Each structure stands twice: as structure tokens, then as C-alpha cells.
Amino acid sequence: TQLLEQSPQFLSIQEGENLTVYCNSSSVFSSLQWYRQEPGEGPVLLVTVVTGGEVKKLKRLTFQFGDARKDSSLHITAAQPGDTGLYLCAGAFPPQEYGNKLVFGAGTILRVKS
């Protein structure tokens, strides 16, 4: 059983379209991070959300943390080919559940076609 579910696994869209990636758990997150990874490189942090209901924006990317801190979403407005990559969510759970370590989702491969 996956502690953290990420969906969809794969998205192929046209430039200019909007998209949303989801990250869900049956357990409460202490905090949640979103990373982006390009081929041949390591993941790079986009954002960390800590407070239930929190919304953070990074240019065309909007990150939401659910009120109950069990889910998060990443919304990209007007996607561009440069957004292509693997998006990973990573959740921190209370120490008694996973020793305070980050648990990664399986990732969403995004391809934006021009």
C-alpha cells in the first residue's frame, strides 16, 4: 500500500493548456514538498507547504495544501514546453508514522507540446 498517491502518472498536453497534479494520503502530512526533475538531473525543490489550506504561487504554478493536510495539488496555468519534466510530491509524516522522513510519490511525467 502506497503511503502517498500521486496522479495522474502521465500528462501530455498542448502549449497553453491548464493542468492539475494531485497528491493524496490517508494520513496527515506534517508538511509537503513539490519537486521538479528534468532528464539526467536530480529533483529541484519548487515549494514547501506546511499549513492546512495554504496556497502558494510560483509564477504560473499554484500549489494548494488541503485543509486537513491529507492532500495537495499543483496547478499549472498556460503550460509551456519548458514545463516539461517529472513532478514529484514528497510528504513528511509525524515521527511515529515514518520516522519524520520524506516519502515521495511515484511522480507525474508532464509533456507539453508546442
Partner 1 sequence: NAGVTQTPKFRILKIGQSMTLQCAQDMNHNYMYWYRQDPGMGLKLIYYSVGAGITDKGEVPNGYNVSRSTTEDFPLRLELAAPSQTSVYFCASSFRESTGELFFGEGSRLTVL
Closest by CA to 31, choosing from 106, 105, 101, 108, is 101
Q: Is 24 in the site for partner 1 (CB under 8 A)?
A: no
Q: Is 66 in the site for partner 1 (CB under 8 A)?
A: no
Which range of residues in 55-63, 65-73, 74-82, 88-96 is near partner 1 by CB under 8 A?
88-96
Using CB under 8 A, count the residues that bind partner 1.
24
H or E stretch covering 45: strand 44-49
In Å, how far are 2, 72, 105 from 63, measured between CA atoms? 22, 7, 16
Q: Give phi and psi for 112, each to the nearest 5.
A: -110, 120
Site string for partner 1, 35-54 (x = CB under 8 A): x----xxxxxx--x-x----
- The position carrying cell 502549449 is 15
CB of 82 to partner 1, least distance (A): 20
Binding site for partner 1 (CB under 8 A): 6, 9, 30-31, 33, 35, 40-45, 48, 50, 88, 90, 92, 100-102, 104-107
